[in-house]
Structure 1
């Protein structure tokens, strides 16, 4: 599970932390930024109550990602790079859980 002190609950903190880190992280491209923006959109709509429970098809629609394979690759990379904690749900009724993580930037 995710340590409580590593979870971001503030939208602005998540947005600014990610954008500052994205400038210096050569691994991130437009798809990562677009998907993170979609995650922030749903997080904000959920009134910033984490974790975010969301379906991949909704994130894909907002991030303008049309391929399931691309979506899974990008969300797993955001998880692996430490920007989010992603817990996929294989249940068609329950959404996957996404935690926004504190981002260390210089």
Structure 2
């Protein structure tokens, strides 16, 4: 297996720790969030563009309804900001925002 030396590995781990500790998330959420980390290179607060097709393929989510439900919940839980794009080549604008698990007051 090829070793990846990625400069944002520490950020990836911090974000994954936040996701791991959140009991509201299931395997689909975690898979989609992992895809978002991959395409966003794990960098918080920097917008990136990704298409539904790429995110669904990477996360192995087959159903559009499941994808949109998980995306909507990740947004409402404060893990990301999402601005849809209707341009066929550009992809939607996404910003990873989570740094810690939201408190019980935020849930």
TM bin, normalised by shorter chain, reads 0.7 to 0.9
Q: TM-score, normalised by structure 1?
A: 0.75
Higher percent of residues as helix: 1
Q: Which moved more, 1:86-95 or 1:35-44?
A: 86-95
Partner of 2:18 in structure 1? 21
Q: TM-score, normalised by structure 2?
A: 0.75
Q: How many residues align?
A: 95
State the superposition RMSD in angstroms. Answer: 2.5
Q: Is 1:90 matched up with 2:98?
A: no
Give how far 1:17 is off. Answer: 2.7
1:71/1:79 Cα in 2 relative to 1: closer, same or farther (>3 Å)? same
Q: Any runs of at least 4 consecutive aligned residues in structure 1 with deviations exceeding 4 A, and if so which?
A: none
2:65 to 52, 60, 69: 69
For structure 2, the 5+ residue unaligned runs are: 1-6
Give how far 1:103 is off. Answer: 1.7
Give how far 1:104 is off. Answer: 2.4
> For the residues of structure 1 that align with 2:54 and 2:95, how far apart are their CA atoms?
16
For structure 1, the 5+ residue unaligned runs are: 1-9
1:87–1:96 CA contact under 8 A, matched in 2: yes
Ranked by relative contact order (alpha carbons within 8 Å, sequence separation 6 or more), the top structure is 1
1:13/1:85 Cα in 2 relative to 1: closer, same or farther (>3 Å)? farther
> For the residues of structure 1 that align with 2:81 and 2:20, how far apart are their CA atoms?
21
1:85–1:99 CA contact under 8 A, matched in 2: yes
